[in-house]
Amino acid sequence: MLQYIGRRLLASIPTVIGVCVIVFCLMYFSPYDPAENMGHMYHLNAEQIQMLRQELRLDRPFLDQLGHWFANLARGDLGKSYLQSLPVVNMIEARMWTTLELALAGMLLATIIGLGTGIMAALNEGSIWDTFSMILALIGSAMPDFWLALMLIYLFALNLRWLPILGQGDVKHLIMPALVVGLTEAGVIARTVRSSLLEVMHDDYIRTARAKGLRERFVVTRHAMRNALIPTVTIIGINMGAVLGGVVVIEVVFAREGIGRMMVDGVLATDIPVVQGVVLLSALVFIFVNLAVDVLYAFLDPRIRLETNR
C-alpha cells in the first residue's frame, strides 16, 4: 500500500509543476498592470509608479520572474500582498478554516442526502419515489448556487427571520451556506448512487447471495453497496475538491471571509500574489483530494489491493 501511495505521489509531481507554471503565466500575461492600478489608487506619479514596478520585480524578464517565484515556492513563500503588504501564506491560513468549515459541512450534508436518496430510489426502481427523487436530483444539480442562496436568504432570513443573513460566527451563520452546497451537490451523488447500485444489484453474485437465503438488508449493505460505492467515492472526492476551490460565489453572497472571497478581492485589485496563491492552493487541494480517492479505492476494492502488492 505504501508503494502504491508513493507511486501516486510521484505521478502527481509533474501535475503540480505544470499547475504552478500555468498559474504564473495566467497572471504574467494578464493585460492589467498592478503598478499602474496601485498608482491610480494612491495617486502616484509616473516616476513613483516606475519605482514601484522595480520594487515588485515587474520589470524583470519572464524567466527571471518565473525562477524567482519557483525559488520562493520551494521555501513555502507565496510572496506578499501588493495592497496589504502581508505574507500570502498567512492570509490564506487566516481564511482557510472558514472555507474548509463550509466545504466540509456542505459535503457532509450532500453525502447524507445523496446516499439516502440514491439508495431508496434504487431499491424502489420504477416507483413514484424513484421518479420524484430523480427529478429533484436533476433540478438540484442544475440549479445555480447563487439563485438558491438568494432564495434561502429570502425565505429563512427575510420572511421567517430564523437565520442571520450575512457574516460568520456561530452555527446559525453556517446553515444557509452549507444548505446551498449540500443541495446543489447532493443531486449528482444521488444519481450516481442509484445507477451504480442498480447495476450491481443485477450481478450474478447478488443473485447467489439471495439464493443462499441472506436477508435483503444484508445483501445490500454487505455485498452490493461495497462495489456501488466505488464510483460514488470518485464523485464525492471530485466534488469535495471543486467545492474547496469553488465556493467563491457562496462566500461573496453570504459575506464570509474565506479564501474564495479573498481571491475575488485580489482579482478586483489586481493583487497578483494573492490570486496566484489562492489558485495554486485550489489546484493542489484538487490534486491531493483525488490522490486520497485513489488510496480509498484500494480499501474498497480487493482487486486494487492485490495489484498494489505485486
Residues 126 and 239 in one domain: yes
Asked whether residue 215 is assigned to any structural domain, the reply reads yes
Residues 102 and 50 in one domain: no
Residues 119 and 36 in one domain: no
**Torsion angles phi and psi, residue 87, rounded to 5:** -60, 135
Residues 52 and 151 in one domain: no
CA atoms of 271 and 80, how far apart (whole Å): 9
Q: What's the mean pLDDT in 253-273?
A: 84
Q: Give pLDDT, residue 203.
A: 76
Residues 254 and 127 in one domain: yes
Asked whether residue 292 is assigned to any structural domain, the reply reads no
The tally of domains found in the chain comes to 2
pLDDT at 135 over 80: yes
Residues 68 and 104 in one domain: no
Amino acid residing at 2: L
Q: Give pLDDT, residue 179.
A: 92
pLDDT at 266 over 70: yes
Q: Residues 202-252: pLDDT tens digits?
A: 777 777 777 877 777 777 777 777 777 778 888 888 788 778 766 788 888
Residues 115 and 47 in one domain: no
Residues 185 and 215 in one domain: yes
Comparing CA positions, the residue from 224, 40, 37 lying closest to residue 119 is 224
Q: Give pLDDT, residue 300.
A: 64
Higher local confidence (pLDDT), 41 or 264: 264
Query: The C-alpha cell of 297 is what?
Result: 479505492
Asked whether residue 88 is assigned to any structural domain, the reply reads no
Asked whether residue 254 is assigned to any structural domain, the reply reads yes
Residues 56 and 107 in one domain: no
Asked whether residue 85 is assigned to any structural domain, the reply reads no
Q: What's the mean pLDDT in 188-204?
A: 85
Ramachandran area for residue 161 (φ above 0: left; ψ -120 to 50: alpha; else beta): left
HSE-CB for 81 with a 13 A CA cutoff: 19
Q: Give pLDDT, residue 108.
A: 92
Range of the domain at 146: 96-269
Single residue among 74, 106, 137 that ends a domain in this structure: 74
Asked whether residue 91 is assigned to any structural domain, the reply reads no
Share of the chain above pLDDT 70, in %: 94
Q: Residues 28-81: pLDDT tens digits?
A: 887 777 888 777 777 788 888 888 888 888 888 888 888 888 888 888 888 888
Residues 179 and 129 in one domain: yes
* Burial 219-252, CB ≥16 within 10 A → b, else e: bbeebbbebbbbebbbbbbebbbbbbbbbbebbb
Asked whether residue 126 is assigned to any structural domain, the reply reads yes
Residues 107 and 235 in one domain: yes
Find the CATH number of the domain harbouring 164: 1.10.3720.10
Residues 136 and 67 in one domain: no
Q: Give pLDDT, residue 241.
A: 75
Give burial (CB, 10 Å; 0-12/13-18/19+) of 302. exposed
Asked whether residue 295 is assigned to any structural domain, the reply reads no
CA atoms of 65 and 54, how far apart (whole Å): 12
Q: Residues 76-120: pLDDT tens digits?
A: 888 888 888 889 999 988 888 888 888 889 999 999 999 989 888
Indicate the pLDDT class of residue 310, thresholds 50, 70 and 90: low
Single residue among 74, 107, 122 that ends a domain in this structure: 74
